[in-house]
Amino acid sequence: MPTQDPDLNELKAAEADYHRRRRMMGGALILVLTLGAVIYAFTSGERNVGQQACAADDQRMAAVSSRATGEVAALLVPKAPQPLPPLAFKTADGRDVTLADFKGRAILLNLWATWCAPCRKEMPALDRLQGTLGGDRFEVVAVNVDTRNPEKARDFLEEVGVTELTFYADNSMQIFRDLKSYGRAFGMPTTVLIDETGCELGTMAGPAEWDSREALELIRAAVTGN
C-alpha cells in the first residue's frame, strides 16, 4: 500500500472520527442535531474569527433555515450569520484568492478530493447547480484539496463532464485546517453556504443532491432572503 502524506492522513482521520461519531450516536439525524448544538454553541457569541461584522438578518436566516429540508436537510444553520476565517486557495493558473474576492455574491464553498467517493459522486450535481443559478449573485466554489498529483483532479472533472465550475485548489490543505479549527470541517466533503459579505449561513458535513429542487430553493433563499 502506498504511503499517504501527513496531510491526507489528517483528512482521513477527521473523516473516520466523523463516521465513528455517527455510529456512536445511532443515526445521522441525531448526529446532525448533536453536532449542530455543540458547534454553534461553541462558535457563536463574541468570537470574531474573520474580523468582520456579520449583520443579523433575521429574514435571510429564517428563509435559509426553512428550506434546509429534503436533500439538503443536513445543513446546519446558525441563529445569525457567522464570521469565517480568511480562507485562501488558488485558481487554475496559480493565482491566490480569498473569500474577500467573492464579496458581493453568495457562494457555496465545497471542499473535495479525488479519493473521496461521495465528493466525486456529487460533483456533477454541483456543476449543474452552477449552470442553473451561477452568475453575478451566486457561484459554486469547489476547492480541490488533493495533496498529491494535482492534475488528477483536473482529469477527473474532465472525465465526468464538468463544464460550469471554475477550477480552484488548495494542495496544502490549509483551507481544511482553517475550517477544522473553527469547528466547520469533520471530513469530506465539507460544504459552507456563505452570504455576499463573506459570512456563513450554514454548513454541511457530507454530500447532498445539490441540483435537487430543495437545494435550488435553499440557494435562492440565501441569495434573495425570500
User: The C-alpha cell of 193 is what?
Assistant: 453556504
75 phi and psi angles, rounded to 5 deg: -65, 125
Query: Is residue 201 packed enough to be buried (19+ CB in 10 Å), middle (13-18) or exposed (0-12)?
Result: buried
Enter the DSSP assignment of 82.
Answer: B
Whichever domain contains 132, its CATH number is 3.40.30.10
pLDDT in tens, 55-80: 758 899 999 999 999 999 999 999 99
Pairing of strands 190-194, 168-169: unpaired
Buried-state track 135-147, b at ≥16 Cβ within 10 A, e below 16: eeebbbbbbbbbb
pLDDT at residue 54 tops 80: yes
Query: Is residue 73 packed enough to be buried (19+ CB in 10 Å), middle (13-18) or exposed (0-12)?
Result: middle
Report helix, strand or coil for 95. Answer: coil
Q: State whether the Cα torsion 50-54-60-62 is positive or negative.
A: positive
pLDDT at residue 197 tops 90: yes
Between 21 and 189, residue with greater pLDDT? 189
What is the per-residue pLDDT for 15? 55
User: The C-alpha cell of 96 is what?
Assistant: 491566490
Going by pLDDT thresholds of 50, 70 and 90, the confidence category of residue 114 is very high
What is the per-residue pLDDT for 57? 80
Is 1 part of any domain?
A: no
Is 154 part of any domain?
A: yes
Domain that holds residue 193: 6-224
What is the per-residue pLDDT for 20? 53
Cα angle 85, 185, 136 (rounded to 5 degrees) comes to 60
Of the candidate ranges 41-45, 185-189, 205-209, the one whose mean pLDDT is the lowest = 41-45
pLDDT in tens, 198-216: 999 999 999 999 999 999 9
Is 143 part of any domain?
A: yes
Going by pLDDT thresholds of 50, 70 and 90, the confidence category of residue 46 is very low
Is 161 part of any domain?
A: yes
Query: Is residue 12 packed enough to be buried (19+ CB in 10 Å), middle (13-18) or exposed (0-12)?
Result: middle
Total structural domains within the chain: 1
What is the per-residue pLDDT for 52? 61
The chain-wide mean pLDDT, for the chain, equals 83
- What length is written for the chain? 226
Give pTM, 2 decimals.
0.80
Which residues sit opposite 200 in a β-bridge? Answer: 82, 194
pLDDT at residue 36 tops 60: no
H/E element holding 40? helix 28-43
